[in-house]
């Protein structure tokens, strides 16, 4: 049995299937984890969602910002952007079933896997884990977000969680502001500014970043130790590189013409499929 963790699909269904063939993925024996952003920008979001729904009992998926954007559109709290490629999902007769299922997906997945002979606790979210968060913080905040999202009254939640501010915990003046900041930490984080605030504007390469910005994984992390390992997607400009042995960046920008990546946790082998067509 092997565990494959795959980076942001963003509608790249053909590459996803080719990658599963390459690793000889067995639906009944192997485990499949996805680090979020299943939809948008790529050509076949509906096929990605429908396939994952069909094997939902055998895979672990965390939500990404594009997945939340889709849910926001479906619930009427967001307008589609010009760059969106979500029509296939929005026009599907399965849209409500898929949305109800997506709303039950978590914001994190934590599981121990024997990797290179050692039992390692893998922690997967879409964007990473803020350095100041302990494991208890992550569990509590992630589960609180899920509680609101999976509630039948999630419309009110989705109406209020989009936005770049507040970007510091001590600037949150209400529960909804705190929830918005936490959802941004888990699903959109890349850089922190010198004052500790979350910068959500600059998305590029570290080499091009303004001097005052530092990637979240360059700060000392409270959740990491010699037996933990963080898995995240979201940040295609990293091209899979963090420079850290126990922090893996899995979004390698397939939707942008680069490639789709899978990491096999048991031996840390990386597989990839170049963008097709
Ligand atoms: Mn993302």
Q: What is the pLDDT of residues 53-65, one digit of tens each?
A: 999 999 999 999 9
How many Å lie between the centroid of ligand 1 and the Cα of residue 63?
Answer: 9
Query: pLDDT tens-digit profile of 151-201?
Result: 877 778 999 999 999 999 999 999 999 999 999 999 999 999 999 999 999
State what percent of residues in the chain have pLDDT above 90. Answer: 97
Structure tokens at 241: 């590189």
How many Å lie between the centroid of ligand 1 and the Cα of residue 54?
Answer: 23
How far is the C-alpha of 160 from the C-alpha of 151, rounded, in Å?
15
Average pLDDT, integer, range 38-44: 98
How many Å lie between the centroid of ligand 1 and the Cα of residue 126?
Answer: 7
Chain mean pLDDT for the chain: 97
Strands in 59-61's sheet, in edge-to-edge order, are 59-61, 31-34, 3-6, 259-264, 269-274
Average pLDDT, integer, range 36-44: 98
How many Å lie between the centroid of ligand 1 and the Cα of residue 232?
Answer: 10
DSSP three-state, residue 236: helix
How many Å lie between the centroid of ligand 1 and the Cα of residue 118?
Answer: 30
How many Å lie between the centroid of ligand 1 and the Cα of residue 111?
Answer: 22
**CB–CB of 150/103 below 8 Å?**
yes
What pLDDT score does 152 carry? 74
How many Å lie between the centroid of ligand 1 and the Cα of residue 117?
Answer: 32
How many Å lie between the centroid of ligand 1 and the Cα of residue 252?
Answer: 11
How many Å lie between the centroid of ligand 1 and the Cα of residue 48?
Answer: 16
What pLDDT score does 177 carry? 96
72: confidence class by pLDDT, cuts 50, 70, 90:
very high
How many Å lie between the centroid of ligand 1 and the Cα of residue 127?
Answer: 7
**CB–CB of 64/45 below 8 Å?**
no
How many Å lie between the centroid of ligand 1 and the Cα of residue 144?
Answer: 20
How many Å lie between the centroid of ligand 1 and the Cα of residue 138?
Answer: 18
Average pLDDT, integer, range 20-33: 96
How many Å lie between the centroid of ligand 1 and the Cα of residue 81?
Answer: 15
Phi-psi group of 169: left, alpha or beta (phi > 0 → left; psi -120 to 50 → alpha; rest → beta): alpha
Query: pLDDT tens-digit profile of 218-255?
Result: 999 999 999 999 999 999 999 999 999 999 999 999 99
Average pLDDT, integer, range 32-56: 98
What pLDDT score does 153 carry? 78
Q: Which domains does the chain have, with CATH numbers?
A: 3-274 (3.60.21.10)
How many Å lie between the centroid of ligand 1 and the Cα of residue 166?
Answer: 19
How many Å lie between the centroid of ligand 1 and the Cα of residue 236?
Answer: 9
Structure tokens at 183: 């959802």
212 phi, psi to nearest 5 deg: -80, -5
Strand pairing report for 191-192 and 31-34: unpaired
What pLDDT score does 277 carry? 81
- Please determine, for residue 100, whether its predicted confidence score (pLDDT) is greater than 80: yes
How many Å lie between the centroid of ligand 1 and the Cα of residue 20?
Answer: 22
How many Å lie between the centroid of ligand 1 and the Cα of residue 37?
Answer: 6
DSSP three-state, residue 117: coil
- Please determine, for residue 26, whether its predicted confidence score (pLDDT) is greater than 90: yes
Average pLDDT, integer, range 132-146: 98
How many Å lie between the centroid of ligand 1 and the Cα of residue 114?
Answer: 28
Structure tokens at 268: 């840390």
pTM of this structure = 0.97
């Amino acid at each position: 049995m092997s565990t494959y963790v795959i980076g942001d699909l963003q509608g790249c269904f053909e590459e996803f299937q080719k990658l599963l063939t390459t690793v000889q993925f067995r639906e009944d024996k192997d485990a499949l984890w996805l680090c979020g952003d299943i939809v948008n920008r790529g050509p076949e979001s509906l096929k990605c969602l429908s396939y994952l729904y069909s094997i939902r009992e055998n895979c672990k998926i965390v939500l990404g910002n594009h997945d939340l954007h889709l849910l926001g559109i479906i619930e009427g709290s967001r307008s589609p952007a010009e760059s969106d490629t979500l029509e296939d999902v929005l026009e599907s007769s399965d849209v409500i079933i898929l949305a109800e299922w997506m709303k039950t997906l978590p914001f994190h997945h934590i599981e121990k896997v024997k990797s290179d002979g050692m039992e390692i606790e893998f922690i997967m979210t879409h964007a990473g884990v803020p350095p100041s968060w302990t494991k208890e913080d992550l569990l509590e905040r992630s589960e609180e977000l899920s509680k609101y999202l999976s509630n039948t009254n999630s419309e009110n939640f989705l109406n209020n969680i989009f936005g770049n501010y507040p970007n510091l915990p001590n600037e949150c003046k209400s529960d909804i502001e705190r929830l918005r900041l936490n959802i941004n930490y888990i699903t959109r984080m890349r850089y922190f500014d010198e004052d500790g605030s979350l910068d959500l504007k600059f998305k590029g390469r570290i080499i091009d970043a303004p001097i005052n910005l530092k990637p979240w994984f360059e700060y000392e992390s409270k959740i990491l130790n010699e037996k933990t390992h963080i898995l995240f997607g979201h940040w295609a400009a990293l091209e899979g590189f963090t420079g850290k042995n126990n922090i893996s960046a899995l979004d390698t920008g397939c939707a942008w013409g680069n490639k789709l990546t899978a990491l096999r946790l048991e031996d840390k082998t990386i597989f990839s499929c170049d963008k097709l067509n």
